[in-house]
Amino acid sequence: AQSVAQPEDQVNVAEGNPLTVKCTYSVSGNPYLFWYVQYPNRGLQFLLKYITGDNLVKGSYGFEAEFNKSQTSFHLKKPSALVSDSALYFCAVRDRTGTASKLTFGTGTRLQVTL
């Protein structure tokens, strides 16, 4: 069965500093990996995805993520955090051999960016 772990419930960073939100995954075979963001009282919004190719994936709002197969990780990064980046972030994985294109989500990491 596929699974995702987000080891940090909350990440705190000062505006202007780089941020990293961690994600590790477990699937049989090669994964499809996704990051979503959720602002208060809103649905999840797609940020970026890894399908194949370059291990560094660029997405919306200046975010990027690095796929590391040997460490089974897909950490979300941004070079310079903004207060407006404060939100709940979810990592998700899809097994390439699974059915129905189901995504399995992590428990989420709350990012708090302060001035």
Partner 1 sequence: NAGVTQTPKFRVLKTGQSMTLLCAQDMNHEYMYWYRQDPGMGLRLIHYSVGEGTTAKGEVPDGYNVSRLKKQNFLLGLESAAPSQTSVYFCASTSGSYTGELFFGEGSRLTVL
Contact residues for partner 1, defined by CB under 8 A: 9, 32, 34, 36, 41-46, 49, 51, 90, 94, 96, 99-108
- Measured from the CB atom, is 29 or 115 closer to partner 1? 29
- At 98 the three-state DSSP class reads coil
Residues with Cβ < 8 Å from 4, sequence gap 6 or more? 23, 24, 25, 26, 91, 92, 93, 104, 105, 106
Alpha-carbon span 25 to 2, nearest angstrom: 8
Q: Which is nearer to partner 1, 6 or 81 (CB)?
A: 6
* CB closer to partner 1, 40 vs 70: 40
| Least distance (Å) between residue 39 CB and partner 1 | 11
